[in-house]
Amino acid sequence: MPEYTLTDSEGLTKGNYYWRVRAVDGADNQSEWTNGQLFKVSGLNWWLILIIASAAIVVIIIIWRLVSVSRKSEWK
């Protein structure tokens, strides 16, 4: 399956973009261009950032509680 990965210098800024392709064979025969396909480049949605931050806080609290309980049992 043909694919292409952008380099860092080719990275796209946030926005809406269209892409299209056409085939060219070894004899330089060319197909018509395909219809443009929309794709969007954006940052993380605010709700996704909130979920990730909440999950991180919960993990930190759980680890803190486990360490705290473990230390208390060592002191007895």
C-alpha distances in Å from residue 67, one per residue of 1, 7, 30, 57, 73: 49, 43, 66, 15, 10
pLDDT > 70? residue 65: yes
Each residue of 11-36: pLDDT tens digit? 888 899 999 999 999 999 999 999 99
Give the pLDDT score at 13: 87
pLDDT > 70? residue 1: no
Q: Measured in whole angstroms, how far is the alpha carbon of residue 68 from the centre of its chain?
A: 35
What's this model's pTM, rounded to 2 decimal places?
Answer: 0.42
Give the pLDDT score at 69: 79
